[in-house]
Chains A and B, each alone.
Chain A
Amino acid sequence: MNGTKNASWKKIAASTMALTLSAAALLSACSGNNTANNTGNNSSSSAPASNAATSSASSSAAAPAREVTVMRSDTVIQPWLADSPALQEIMKNTNTKITTQAVPESDYDAKKNTLIATNNLPDVLFVKKADIITYANTGVFLNLTPYLDEYAPNLKKRMESDPEVNKLKVDGDLYGFPIMANKENAANVGNFPMIRTDVLEELNLAAPTTFDELYEVLKAFKQAYPDSYPWSFRNGSEYNLKFLAYAFGGGFPIYYEPKEDKFVYGVSSDGFKEAVTFLNKLYKEKLLDPNFAALTVQQWQQNLSSGKSLFFYDNYTFATNFNAALQETDPDAKFDMLPVLADANGNKRNYMDNPSSFNSYVISSKVQNPEEIIKMFDWMYSDEGLKSTNFGVSGEHYTEDNGTITIAQSLLDQFKDKQDPYRAMQSFLGTGLLSFAVMTDDTPMFASSPEQLKVWSDAVKSQKEAGIVVEKPLDPPFTEEERDQLKQLNSKVGTLVTQNVDKFIMGNRPLSELDQFAQELASSGAADIEKIYNDAWARMK
């Protein structure tokens, strides 16, 4: 390391030894008072919840702040910082001091699983939907149900407004504080048809309103630009069929069919067959990127940013990146959203993501006086808490006039030169979904993002109000046994699906065998999957 050439090895060795010896001395000093050192994880575990008498102290004004350690996954784009304005607001309003433990998102699961397995949970832990079901029965998470009536009136109110939350319950009990969206001001995201409107105009074409018209338009694109592959995919055909089959009036793979009020394994549906037939037609005429099965996200982005592809049916927020890249060389180039396309019967429907993430914060079952933490979370569900955890400090970071929130211009200016102004601002404030909020509101995003996003989000919203766009429903809660069965069945059926779907699209297997394919799947487990879903769904209803 310290590679001065003329120093003899002896010297280096000697200094190394000296360094190490002093290090060893330090080490022993450290392990000597390890109890003092060991603050974060063990403070709560050492003492049982017996001395609940002290909890009454929280009512007096001079009570010392309750310290709560919160661990959550941390993104590069919006780092979760300690002592942010939002956390100070929580301190001010609930007398709770949050200690942040931000664990990189890339490896969050590894850390979370280790902590759960060794029973070394922090006081509060961020978990995904599936984690609650997996671990609820082990007793590491606190069951919140007994506390809800007394300590969480705001949460109860919010839950009533979004019944999907009930699917997070395990055997009727709630184990985590679900992260929900304030849907009046939520960004409405989903996979929608996006087309290069400048090319439409250039070729004097009307915007397509049905999938058949889309086919004609793509064909015209190909004629005008023979080198292009008008439609580009990412993540392979199975990912795309999940929403395309639904838009064609069917679904894929297992999905909730609102017309029949039950779950259906969609491969037998007409919509799925039409979607595959449609893609097969595009593939044959080279309207779909022939490499569609293997395109990486990066290649897909390159295709769309370079004009090699002119249409995509995916998360529309990508389009702002594509437009920015395209407009550097061609100022008129622009992707814009098409209204949802009609299937062969003239029906329109499309999924959107539920703005509520439904991930949760759980409390460790070893925590003392959990009602203090529950009260803090409940405050975060209140209107006041929502504002503090999404907008920052009133008067300083935002103003409110007749219910309309305005983000302070000075705040927006402070971050406008950043690479991602919105997330830089949120990181500074400690607000929003990627920081610490259980009730999210996307007002700040619209204030600091390209205006186009708001336009598209509103377009989705109005189609949602018209009943065309629906929020993708969550799976019903399964029992442990059902989950094990599903895992096996899904891998068995999934393998068959993966082996065959691309064959159909590429024409290696004749489309006339689609019905036979559906039968194959049903007999190899798709029918069982359907049954498990519907049984679980029936229990919920």
Chain B
Amino acid sequence: MKLGKRKYSAFDLVNALIMLVLIFIMLYPIYYMAIVSISNGSSVARGEIHFYPVRITWKAYEVIFSDAPIVSAYRNTLIYTSLGVAINLFMTSLCAYPLSRREFYGRNLFSLFIVFTMFFDGGIIPRYLVVNGLGMLDTIWAIVVPTAINVFYMVMMRTFFQALPEALHESAHMDGANDLTVFWRVVLPLSAPVMATMTLFYAVSHWNSYFPALIYLNDSHLYPIQIILRNIVIQGDVASQSTEASGVMGTLVVDQNIKYAVVLIAILPILLLYPFLQKYFVKGSMVGSLKG
């Protein structure tokens, strides 16, 4: 292909146009939230915001960052995500590696049991009883432990491990390494792509999760940001549905710009994670799935 000298056909033009429209459709909602969050509240109420912010004010962000629950919830989310991902990677790789070894006794039976849970699930109530029985209610462990292994991700990781050349294991064993050493010194260092992919997947799921926290935590100091976010975003809608639902004087409406500011703040960190992990993400998931 001769770079730079390519002729553009009508198809390319139309294609590019369609892509531009698509990009606009994808980006505009995020952009809209950003401009609403820094616009004057009354202008937002009058519906004056379309393509640029009106009477710029940072008040929404001031309100948010002076709100103690939001700040502490943000910190909690960071803790849950980092600790959760660490536990996820550790447990998932420990589970995936033996299952990837052909000589592992009863491999298919174990795989069957594990994959079974992908399709059949006890539901909230048994899970709640288990977490309660383990004494994890109202602790951080209720958030990070029950989700330690996602079976689908575990299978992806197993497939990746399986794709590593068998000769590596043999030569390592010949040099006197045991299974743990092989895993630790040979397999893991070669698994950066899949680890990065898993980090991203798990981090996103931890970051976005609110339901376990809602069900298992009673102490509101432990809430993650998503719970607060949901409450803020849904609040206005629910409360203003009908007057009899609230029976409350005064309208319980959260200002639109505060809502959007919180949404932005809640998605920003995970949004920023993508570009850094993306190259591994593409490589890793492709390697894993193609050879599976």
Task: State whether these chains interact.
Answer: yes
Residues of A within 8 A of B (CB): 1, 3, 9-10, 13, 16-17, 19-21, 23-24, 27, 30-31, 34-35, 37-42, 71, 74-77, 79, 101-107, 110-111, 114, 117-118, 120, 122, 187, 189-191, 235, 239, 297-299, 301-303, 305-306, 314-315, 317-318, 320-322, 324-325, 328, 353-359, 419-420, 422-423, 433-434, 442, 445, 449, 453, 457, 472
Closest beta carbon of chain B to A531's beta carbon, Å? 24
Q: How many A-B residue pairs have CB under 8 A?
A: 193
Assess the A76–B235 pair: CB atoms within 8 A.
yes
Closest beta carbon of chain B to A129's beta carbon, Å? 11
Assess the A23–B247 pair: CB atoms within 8 A.
no
> Which residues 232-288 of B have a CB within 8 angstroms of A?
232-244, 247-256, 273, 276
Residues of B within 8 A of A (CB): 42, 45-48, 63, 69, 81-83, 85-87, 89-91, 124-125, 128-129, 132, 134-139, 141, 145, 188-189, 192, 195, 199, 203, 210-211, 214-215, 218-220, 223, 227-228, 230-244, 247-256, 273, 276
Q: Which residues of A contact B85 (CB under 8 A)?
A: 1
A-B contact pairs, 6 of them (CB 8 A): A1-B203, A1-B273, A20-B91, A42-B132, A118-B129, A305-B46
Assess the B237–A41 pair: CB atoms within 8 A.
no
Measured CB to CB, the nearest residue on chain A to B63 is: A419
How far, in whole Å, are A362 and B177 apart by their CA atoms in the complex? 64
Closest beta carbon of chain B to A415's beta carbon, Å? 14
Assess the B128–A114 pair: CB atoms within 8 A.
yes
Measured CB to CB, the nearest residue on chain A to B199 is: A1
Q: Which of A10, A305, A453 contacts B250 (CB 8 A)?
A: A453
Closest beta carbon of chain A to B185's beta carbon, Å? 9
Measured CB to CB, the nearest residue on chain B to A33 is: B135
Assess the A10–B188 pair: CB atoms within 8 A.
yes
How far, in whole Å, are A104 and B225 apart by their CA atoms in the complex? 12
Closest beta carbon of chain A to B277's beta carbon, Å? 8
How far, in whole Å, are A23 and B254 apart by their CA atoms in the complex? 39
Assess the A41–B132 pair: CB atoms within 8 A.
yes
Measured CB to CB, the nearest residue on chain B to A103 is: B214
Which secondary structure characterizes the binding site on chain B?
A: helix
Besides A20-B86, A79-B69, A322-B45, 17 other A-B contacts (C-beta < 8 A): A1-B203, A10-B188, A16-B89, A19-B83, A21-B90, A34-B135, A71-B218, A76-B228, A77-B235, A106-B231, A114-B215, A120-B132, A297-B236, A302-B47, A306-B46, A353-B247, A357-B247
Whether A19 contacts B215 in the complex (CB less than 8 A), given A13-B189, A118-B129, comes out as: no
Measured CB to CB, the nearest residue on chain A to B240 is: A297
Whether A20 contacts B90 in the complex (CB less than 8 A), given A40-B138, A306-B47, comes out as: yes
Assess the A302–B45 pair: CB atoms within 8 A.
yes
Whether A76 contacts B232 in the complex (CB less than 8 A), given A1-B203, A318-B251, A445-B250, comes out as: yes
Q: Which residues of B contact A30 (CB under 8 A)?
A: 135-136, 139, 141
Closest beta carbon of chain A to B213's beta carbon, Å? 10
Assess the A75–B235 pair: CB atoms within 8 A.
yes
Measured CB to CB, the nearest residue on chain A to B215 is: A114
Question: Lowest 6 CB-CB distances: which A-B pairs, in order?
Answer: A34-B135, A302-B47, A187-B249, A104-B231, A106-B234, A20-B90
